[in-house]
A and B are shown apart, each in its own frame.
Chain A
Amino acid sequence: MNIRALVIDDSKIMRKMVMRSLTQTKLAEFEFDEAGDGVEGLEAFHPKKTDMIFVDWNMPNMTGIDFCRNLRTTQKRHVPIVMITTESTMGKIEEALDDVGVDSYVVKPFTPDKLKQKLEPLFEKLAESQKGGFFSKLASA
């Protein structure tokens, strides 16, 4: 499976770490776009080409949560969003998953194995959607 992923984090080092870790999971063949905050993320997002988004929470200019809210209200196509952040309290996780429509949540720091474990269910759904399954049904709802 080929995935074009948008990685949004104000730390270049962390973006590189996320990209490296994703590549190591071998869940897909990845092509990456990068952005340094939510504003840049909205500019870098491609409505037809971005397959998945990995976004931090605390960033200057526009937080990850605000980026997600913005994307979910402006884009009809459901692009899977994974939040990768130091925020780990139940309240924050619920806000991301339930209120804003984030699909999966990974707490920093993480190892590639932990990342793979967390993302496998999402990639299974994505593979299914590319055959006309879960996410394509959401997009057409």
Chain B
Amino acid sequence: MANASTLEYKDCVRDATVESFSMLCGMEITLEGVGTERSASESSIVAVISILGDVEWSVIVNLPKESADAIAPKFAGFEIPFDSEDMGDAVGELCNIVAGAVKAKLDGLGKRAEISLPSVMRGSSVQVLSYKGLPIAIFNFASECGSFAIEVVGSPDVVPTKKVV
């Protein structure tokens, strides 16, 4: 079986995110770039899902507070306080849907995998620390509701391939 190219993996994540936000929140988002440096945020909420099988990835949705405050009501249909349990629920489900869409696109590339339930964390200066030696790709998106990032940590095929040190 031919291996998917790193460009195809990158397209999986980009397209899954764009389509999910469009359908779920009625939002147009644009990929501004893919890098390896995480930008600091005073307050943010982070959701993580594992995708395990032919690829081994952690898919992380990282929303600064301002973006979460604007995006969550579009998804939920009502205002959600940042510090509430509902916000955790909303971001966890958002991550679930993005990861599900990524999984579906990986399936189209012949890569089979299962996804976990999401874990959600919220706080000030939240820093996601990845296991040393694993490649990381941070997809930075912009939207009318603010910027956010989708991070993929894991298999060597994810681009770019700067390893966490």
Chain A residues with CB under 8 Å of chain B are 10-14, 16-17, 20, 58-60, 85-89, 108-111
Contact = CB atoms under 8 A, between A and B. Distances in A.
Given A12-B89, A86-B97, A86-B99, A17 B76 contact: yes
Contacts of A60: 117
Given A13-B75, A16-B76, A16-B77, A86 B96 contact: yes
A127 to B, nearest CB: 28
Contacts, number: 53
Majority secondary structure of chain A interface residues (helix, strand, loop or mixed): loop
**Most chain B beta-carbon contacts within 10 A, residue among A14, A17, A108, A109:** A109
A88 B117 CA distance: 16
A16 B89 CA distance: 12
Nearest to A12: B89
A60 B78 CA distance: 25
**Most chain A beta-carbon contacts within 10 A, residue among B23, B100, B103:** B100
Given A17-B77, A86-B104, A108-B100, 13 more contacts: A10-B117, A11-B92, A11-B96, A13-B76, A13-B89, A17-B76, A20-B77, A85-B100, A86-B103, A89-B103, A89-B107, A109-B20, A109-B23
A88 B78 CA distance: 28
B32 interface: no
B54 interface: no
Given A14-B93, A60-B117, A111 B77 contact: no
Nearest to A9: B93
B110 to A, nearest CB: 11
B83 to A, nearest CB: 16
A86 B90 contact: no
Contacts of B97: 86, 108-109
Contacts of B104: 86, 88-89
Contact of A88 (B77, B96, B100): B100
B56 to A, nearest CB: 18
Contact of B101 (A12, A14, A20, A86): A86
A13 B93 contact: yes
A10 B118 CA distance: 11
B115 interface: yes
